[in-house]
Amino acid sequence: MESVVVENLTKKFGNFTAVDSISFSVKKGEIFGFLGPNGAGKTTTIKMLCGIITPTSGRGSIAGFDIVKEQNRIKQNIGYMSQKFSLYEDLTIEENLKFFGSVYNVEDKRLQRRIEEVLDIVEIEEKKDTVVKNLPQGIKQRLALSGAIIHDPEILFLDEPTSGVDPLMRRKFWDMIYDLASIGKTIFITTHYMDEAEYARRVAFISSGRLIALDTPQNLKKSFDHAVYMVSHSEYLKLFHYLSEWEKAIEVALFGNKIHLITLPSVEIRDVKAFLSSRVREEIKIEKILPSLEDVFVVKVKKV
């Protein structure tokens, strides 16, 4: 069963096309990653799917409801967590949840029980009487998630939910996402962290408003036909400069004191050594490595 269906969805603002005829679907209970650089159209797409803005053309449905004709029905069946923390700083955790429960018309006799349930899910029950402005960012993000699920929606739209959160808290957040998916919730998530995207069942890449890839993380990496190398040398900054000018290099990045190099498919280790050996004297260590999802993403975006 498909929770989200999108067909040729387009959004224009004057002469600017923010989302350009994208199509995809998301199954019930699936964790679906929606990835792209800043300004790619991720948030605009989510806002159309949530009924916040109306598309220019195309169609879509959420939990079987039309995103243009049944926006109010959609809002009762989804939870939305935006990039910007949007709860009330001067209220306590429990007061925020009571407010959002009332917004979603959760019955009073059920609301207290539901507050206890969501606080247990996000593991912040002991802080329920704390004023929000006194909370660390990671706890605020958990509270934002609990606000998005207070009415027990079928589908969750999470727009960069772990932004500004430390690595340990990010992992904990993903544990909670997996738990929600395990009970049948559909998770539609955007993130800047490519390591996080590996947790999704499928990922879609969007760039300049267009969908440029859609598959499982494993399949996207298997189909990657460029060579990836890790280069080590005492004068790594000098090598970084040389490789950045090499016509056979697609992407060059520093990883600590090593160089992460993506090249044209035909390039072998000997080709990299031949290019660099005439420029530095000391021995160069070059290791061919498996591509990451970030490697796939960078190359596909550069081709757009």
Alpha-carbon distance of 288 to 251, in angstroms, equals: 15
**% pLDDT > 70, the chain:** 99
Residues 155, 79 contacting (CB under 8 angstroms): yes
**Tokens 């727009």 belong to which residue?**
159
pLDDT computed for residue 85 by the predictor: 62
Q: Backbone phi, then psi, for 157, in 5-degree steps?
A: -110, 115
CA distance 103 to 144: 15
pLDDT in tens, 66-122: 999 999 899 889 999 987 667 889 999 999 999 999 988 899 889 999 999 999 999
Which pTM was predicted?
A: 0.90
Query: For 42-53, what is each residue's pLDDT tens digit?
Result: 999 999 999 999
Per-residue pLDDT tens digits for 212-253:
999 999 999 999 999 999 999 999 999 999 999 999 999 999
Mean predicted lDDT score pLDDT of the chain: 93
Which two tokens mark 3?
């929770």
Task: List the structure tokens of 241.
Answer: 């400069």
Domains of the chain: 2-216 (3.40.50.300), 224-303 (3.30.70.100)
Cα 126 to chain centroid distance, Å, stands at: 29
* pLDDT given for residue 220 in this prediction: 96
**Left if phi > 0, otherwise alpha if psi is -120 to 50, otherwise beta: which for 251?**
beta
